[in-house]
Amino acid sequence: MSELPLLVNIAVALAYALAGGLLARRLGLPAIVGYLAAGAALGPFTPGFRGDPHAIHQLAELGVILLMFGVGLHFSFRDLWQVRGIAIPGALIQTATASAAGYVLARYWGATPSAALVLGMAVSVASTVVLLRGLMDIGLLHSLHGRVAVGWLVLEDLLTILILVLLPLLALPSGGGQAWIAPVWAVGKALLFVLLSLTVGPRVVGWIVGRVVHTRSRELFVLVALTAALGTALAAAAFFGVSLALGAFLAGVVVSESEFAHQIGADLLPFRETFAVLFFVSVGMLVEPAYVAAHWMEVASWCVLIVAGKWAITVLSGIFFPYPSRTSFVVASGLSQIGEFSFILGQGGLSLGLIDANQYSLILAGAIVSIAVNPLMYKVIEPAERTLQRWPRVWHAFNRVEGGLPAPPPHLSGHVVIVGCGRVGRHIAQALALVGVPRLVIEADPARLAKLRQLGVPTLFGDAASAEILTHASLDTARAIVITLPDDATALAVAAEARHLAPALRVISRASTWAGARRLREAGIEDVVRPELEGGVELARRTLADLDLPAEDVQRYAEAIRREEQ
């Protein structure tokens, strides 16, 4: 019977989360808003069924571990390094400025220095989940702007991990001749754990996982993945005195070096999603509606700082970097919210006595409002750019790359513009070179761009979804434009802009899904190719040919497959 209350709490929490998530999606909001609202409805401050905060909190800790393990699993130094010129200094500027603004505002309200510091740091870090979802929804995740935003957030995550390590130092009593020993010892243990994790960890984990894989047991594979996440987090807390979150993050980083990392991530996804939902519900249970209503001016000011303040800070910092204005606006819109890392920081501050429950409610209220408003921030990008363009000098300060891009050679005409030069685009560029047709590649990946230039291929750096970039591609004298981007939404945006600039231009586009191909055809793009479909048709054709069917029948069946998939 003792287990029944826990089961009831889990069932009710998941049911509330399901209802809240469905309602949020129906309203066009991220599901996380519904989970937080569900938690508030289950909390002790609202009427109706009241969940057991202690029971759900225990499960929520597992959600924190799996969330941070997932962040570490998908952490990429390579992605950060590719955009290091803007992501590293930009994130440092934005984090420091936003933290300072939050600190000043909290001190104005009478918070202690330690509490104000925690609140300021909670303001500075955005939600990875919300950012990635927003970029996917507008088709910019794989663009130059999306990669900068992700790299920027990666560094923010690293800074937050460092803050979590140092957070207990704020709770140490001041004074005493030996007061410096405890902080140095704590930091030393944390650094030792990081060093051991990054040096010894990959060898140990690789050896263990390799042995488990050879057993050909799916259950054991899932168990070893869960053990790596939970065991490392608990060992980090027990032996090195660091947070569960840091231990789980480093476990993910260690596992990411393994050749089995992708399968581990796939197998743990259901666990991570389920317990992450319980984590967000547990966070929402701490929201006190009465406090929010009684201090609505503070909540409103806090939300303005998170949404408008962080947006303005990020946009203004773009002046210092030679990137398109669109990059600054996309990054600013994506980061104008707070989420899971802010909750983790707030919970750390609450458990250490640095902030009180009311101040934690302020963090939660800011998260709910900013996440709910975040999808609207992307709609501000184009109006903001049009406004800046009215003042050429200001526009030039924000838009320093596109105006200075080298235009294609003046004699370039009768050429084919290739948007994106991955595996598909590379084959097209090679084919055009063999038949002597001029080509121009538009590419936003610096590594690919360097290789293309070494091969003597005319290139244009930038995001082809931008009208400014396509203007430099001389579309009015081009024979065709071939869009090879894997993201259907981005491909549709490029095709529409190309048609706007050169209505008579032939547009050939890749589509990754049936729905993407349908949208492209609805936009008037008739030449749509789905590589996976063509690969399937070719396999079918060769199979039928090997069965000695007449060539005309083989061709007829292949065309029938294409028509059915249209």
Statement: residue 455 has pLDDT above 90: no
What mean pLDDT, rounded, does the chain reach? 79
User: Which pLDDT does position 33 carry in this prediction?
Assistant: 81
Over residues 294-314, the mean pLDDT reads: 91
Residues 433 and 367 in one domain: no
How is residue 31 written in tokens? 């599901």
pLDDT confidence band for 123 (50 / 70 / 90): very high
HEC string of 372-431? HHHHHHHHHHHHHHHHHCCCHHHHHHHCCCHHHCCCCCCCCCCCEEEECCCHHHHHHHHH
Domain-located, residue 400? no
- Statement: residue 226 has pLDDT above 70: yes
Q: In this structure, are 162 and 60 located in the same domain?
A: yes
Could you tell me the pLDDT band of residue 182, with boundaries at 50, 70 and 90?
low
Which of 119-128, 209-218, 414-423 shows the lowest mean pLDDT across its residues?
Answer: 209-218
Q: For the domain that residue 72 is a member of, what is the CATH number? A: 1.20.1530.20
pLDDT (tens digit per residue) in 82-121: 777 888 898 899 999 999 999 999 999 988 999 999 999 9
Verify that 315 and 434 share a domain, yes or no.
Answer: no
pLDDT at 19: 93
| pLDDT higher than threshold 50 for residue 1 | no
Backbone φ, ψ for residue 509 (5° rounding): -130, 145
Residues 90 and 164 in one domain: yes
Report the distance separating Cα 268 and Cα 198, nearest Å: 22
The pair of structure tokens assigned to 455 is 């091969």
Q: Is residue 504 part of a domain?
A: yes
Burial 511-546 (b: 16+ CB within 10 A, else e): beeeebbebbeeeebeebbbeebeeebeeebeebee
How far is 430 from 457, CA to CA, in rounded Å? Answer: 10
Q: What is the CATH number of the domain that holds 420?
A: 3.40.50.720
Overall number of domains in the chain = 2
**Is residue 368 domain-shared with residue 445, that is, in the same domain?**
no
> In 3-state terms, what secondary structure has residue 484?
coil
Does a structural domain hold residue 404? no
Q: Over pLDDT 90: what percentage of the chain?
A: 9
Q: Would 36 be classed as within a structural domain?
A: yes
502-522 mean pLDDT: 85
Confirm whether 395 is domain-assigned: no
How high is the pLDDT of residue 539?
82
The confidence score (pLDDT) of residue 98 equals 92
Q: Say yes or no: 372 and 445 in one domain.
A: no
The answer to whether position 175 is within a domain reads no
Domain that holds residue 321: 4-169+182-386
Residue 404 pLDDT class (50, 70, 90 cuts)? very low
Same structural domain for residues 321 and 468? no
Angstrom distance (rounded) from CA 484 to CA 431: 14
pLDDT tens per residue across span 355-384: 888 888 888 888 888 887 888 888 888 888
**Residue 551 forms part of a structural domain:** no
pTM listed for this prediction: 0.62
Question: Do 126 and 54 reside in the same domain of the chain?
Answer: yes
Give the residue among 360, 354, 340 at the shortest CA–CA distance from 169.
354
Question: For position 513, what pLDDT does the model report?
Answer: 81
The residues near 511 (Cβ < 8 Å, ≥ 6 apart) are 488, 491, 517, 520, 528, 529, 530
Instruction: Give the pLDDT score at 31.
Output: 81
pLDDT band with cut points at 50, 70 and 90 for residue 403: very low
pLDDT digits over 8-40, tens only?
778 888 899 899 989 988 887 778 788 888 888
**Residue 150 pLDDT > 70, yes or no?**
yes
Mean pLDDT of 260-273: 75
The predicted pLDDT at position 318 comes to 80
Residue 125, pLDDT > 70, answer: yes
On whether both 87 and 217 belong to a single domain, the answer is yes
Instruction: Name residue, tokens 């000098």.
Output: 393
Residue 3 is predicted with a pLDDT of 45
Percent of the chain with pLDDT over 70: 86
Q: Once rounded to an integer, what is the mean pLDDT over residues 180-190?
A: 67
Tell me which range, 142-151, 156-165, 432-441, 527-536, is most confidently predicted by mean pLDDT.
432-441
Over 90: is that where the pLDDT of 311 sits?
Answer: yes
Other CB atoms within a 10 A radius of the CB of residue 430 amount to 12
Query: Does residue 225 sit in the same domain as residue 304?
Result: yes
Specify the pLDDT at position 565: 58
- Whether 286 has a pLDDT exceeding 70, the answer reads yes
pLDDT-based confidence at residue 175 (cuts at 50, 70, 90): low
Residue 375 sits in the same domain as residue 448: no
Between 344 and 309, where is the model more confident?
Answer: 309
Evaluate if residue 494 carries a pLDDT over 60.
Answer: yes
Residue 547 within a domain: no
pLDDT at 434 over 90: no
Residue 486 in contact with residue 512, Cβ under 8 Å? yes
N residues, the chain = 566
Tokens coding 345: 């920081």
Task: State whether 32 and 71 are in the same domain.
Answer: yes
Mean pLDDT of all residues in 247-254? 78
